[in-house]
Amino acid sequence: MITEFVVTAGEQPKRLDVFLVNRERDMSRSALQRLIELGRIRLNDQIVRASQKIKPGDKITMDVPKPEPLQLRGEPIPLEVLFEDEQVLVLNKPAGIVVHPAPGNWTGTLVNALLHYFQTSGGTMSAVGGKERPGLVHRLDKDTSGVMVIAKTDQAHRHLSSQFKQHTITRVYEALVWAIPKKGHGLIELAIGRDAKERKKFSSRTARPKDAVTGYTVSRRFGKAAAHLLLYPQTGRTHQLRVHLASLGHPILGDPTYGGRKVCCVNGLEVPRVMLHARTLGFRHPSTGELQQYDRLSPPDMDFLMRQMEARLDNTPARILTAVKTLD
């Protein structure tokens, strides 16, 4: 629903989000900030920041999507649990599952799976994230697999969130990328934010850049076609690894958003998804303060693609046949 109004005379200059939260009593400030960031709230027909000051005579246009009913139900989706106690649950998220409900994905999410898991086990999840994101301290993209930690209590949620905010979490990812980086290791320092023109993407072309740093090491090479990288994010921006690798000219295989259609096929082999996996997660336990680390090496689809690429390099039919039998 689109509404327009003009700031009345006598209104004191203040931030756009502060002005709106006092006017729109049914919406939280964070929700309004998200709408501003998405360009759904405009000032004088221009996309602006939430911190933009309003003044009398300004025209504000709001395009607020109609809310969809949210009745989250547990669903019997299998979970690979790596560790669980009274405070946290650590799991290995498979590729292809959305972490939390959102428009277009109200069912079949990790949250639905967690609700069913705790309903049957008698456990609980932290309520800090709200009813849409209970227990979620961080997230992985739909196509990204790997280790995640879930907070079972509010205390654990706050403790883990602080660790993520202070960048004291240990994280290692692995990815298959297009072509071979010139350097065997390096550090990518590129501030990113929501793209100024394509609002579903993130890039350095943004009105709100945030520092982002990623270390990388090339661990395997597949001729000149592709490479296997270990990634060490020092910050946790949305799409950070995908944007950073694309900025090097080596987008992640299977990622058409940042690499185009060419990266969805390598040496005649179809790439089924974004080849990104969160292999290591380390944090201090919210209660004991003990350093805990969990690892899961590359999933079967990533392993299979690497075996296929190696077989193509050898050009040996027997190697290809062996790889196929192994997958079966």
Query: What was the pLDDT predicted at 325?
Result: 44
Query: What was the pLDDT predicted at 322?
Result: 44
What is the C-alpha to C-alpha distance for residues 90 and 84, in angstroms, rounded to an integer? 6
Burial (CB count <10 Å: 0-12, 13-18, 19+), residue 40: middle
What is the C-alpha to C-alpha distance for residues 36 and 56, in angstroms, rounded to an integer? 19
- Tell the residue number behind the tokens 């987008």, with chain if given: 251
Element holding 325 (H helix, E strand): helix 317-327
Query: What was the pLDDT predicted at 328?
Result: 44
Contact in structure between 55 and 254 (CB atoms under 8 Å)? no
Q: ∠ CA(225), CA(247), CA(242), 5° rounding?
A: 80
What is the C-alpha to C-alpha distance for residues 260 and 242, in angstroms, rounded to an integer? 12
Residue 214's closest CA among 199, 192, 182?
192
Do the bridges between strand 265-266 and strand 269-270 make them parallel or antiparallel, or are there none, so unpaired? antiparallel
Kindly give the confidence (pLDDT) of every residue in the chain, 328 residues in length, as a single tens digit, with 9 standing for 90 and above.
788 999 998 888 999 999 998 887 667 788 889 899 989 999 999 999 999 999 999 999 999 876 554 577 899 999 999 999 999 999 999 999 999 877 667 789 999 999 999 988 887 778 766 666 788 999 999 999 999 999 999 999 999 999 999 999 999 999 999 999 999 999 999 999 988 888 789 999 998 899 999 999 999 999 999 999 999 999 999 999 999 999 999 999 999 999 999 999 999 999 999 999 999 999 999 999 999 999 999 999 999 999 999 998 876 444 444 444 444 4
The terminus-to-terminus CA distance of the chain in angstroms comes to 51
- Tell the residue number behind the tokens 């579903």, with chain if given: 200
- Tell the residue number behind the tokens 């999410």, with chain if given: 109
Query: What was the pLDDT predicted at 27?
Result: 74
Element holding 256 (H helix, E strand): helix 256-259
What three-state secondary structure class fits 13? coil
Catalytic residues: 141
Domains of the chain, first to last: 2-63 (3.10.290.10), 68-166 (3.30.2350.10), 167-328 (3.30.2350.10)
